[in-house]
Amino acid sequence: MMDEDDYWNTSETKAHAFSFDDDVLTPQEILAIGQKPSTGTKEESIFSSSAISNTKSLLPLNSLVSPKVLDLILLAQSGKYPSNESKSDIEQTVAVTLKRLVLGRSCSLHVHRSLKSKTELLDGAISIGDGNAILTVVLFLIQTLNKKIVFELLSCRPIALNHYISFLHTEGKITELSDLLTMLGRSPEAAMYQFHHCIKSQGNNVDSLLRKLANLLANHLNQPGADSHQAKMVADYVKLLEWQKFANKQELFNKSALHCLAFCCAQHWSDTAGNMMSPMTVCQRQQIPPLQYDWVVLNVHAKSNKWDIVETLFTKKDWLGRTTVSSHIPIETLLARLSDLQASKQLLTTCVNKIASSEDRLRLAQMYKVRM
Question: Under 8 Å CB-to-CB from 309, ≥6 apart: which residues?
Answer: 269, 297, 301
Question: Of 175, 206, 221, which residue sits at a domain end?
Answer: 175
Cα separation values, 175 from 3, 28, 178, Å: 76, 54, 5
The last residue of one of the domains, among 160, 175, 190, is 175
Q: Is 294 within the bounds of a domain?
A: no
Conformational region of residue 355, where left means phi above 0, alpha means psi within -120 to 50, and beta covers everything else: beta
Write out the chain's pLDDT in tens, 372 residues. 555 555 445 544 444 444 444 444 455 554 455 454 544 444 444 444 444 444 445 556 556 556 655 555 555 555 454 444 455 555 567 888 888 888 878 777 888 888 888 888 899 889 888 888 899 999 999 989 888 898 889 988 999 999 999 999 888 888 889 888 888 888 888 888 888 888 887 767 788 889 889 888 888 787 777 788 888 989 999 999 999 999 999 889 888 999 999 999 999 999 988 899 999 999 999 999 999 999 999 999 999 999 999 988 888 776 666 677 888 999 899 999 999 999 998 889 888 888 888 888 899 889 988 876
What pLDDT does 84 receive? Answer: 47
In a domain, 223, yes or no: no
Residue 18 carries which DSSP code? Answer: P
Structural domain count of the chain: 2
The partner residues of 324 in beta bridges, in order of sequence, read 316
Identify whether 317 is part of a domain: yes
Pairing of strands 315-317, 323-325: antiparallel
Range of the structural domain that residue 359 is part of: 306-372
- Provide CB contacts within 8 A for 357, sequence distance 6+: none
Of 123, 154, 175, at which residue does a domain stop?
175
Residues 124 and 118: their CA atoms lie apart, in Å, by 10
Residue 188: CB atoms within 10 A of its CB come to 16
Q: Are 92 and 67 in contact (CB under 8 A)?
A: no
Q: Give the three-class secondary structure for 40.
A: coil
Cβ-Cβ contacts under 8 Å for 157 (sequence gap 6 or more): 122, 123, 126
Specify the pLDDT at position 73.
Answer: 56
The reply to whether 329 falls in a domain is yes
CA distances (Å), origin 57, targets 35, 36, 131, 186, 364 = 9, 9, 50, 69, 95
Q: Give phi and psi for 343, each to the nearest 5.
A: -70, 165
Q: Domain for residue 132, yes or no?
A: yes
Crossing angle for the helix pair 307-314 and 345-353, to the nearest 10 degrees = 10
Task: Give residues with Cβ within 8 angstroms of 318, minimum separation 6.
Answer: 324
Residue in 314, 318, 209 with CA at minimum distance from that of residue 255: 209
The answer to whether residue 333 sits within a structural domain is yes
Whether 227 is in a domain gets the answer no
Please tell me what DSSP assigns to residue 285. Answer: H
Tell me how crowded residue 127 is: count the other CB atoms within 10 A of its CB: 10
- List the helix and strand counts (H, then E) for the chain: 20, 2
pLDDT score for 91: 55
Q: Does residue 78 lie within any of the structural domains?
A: yes
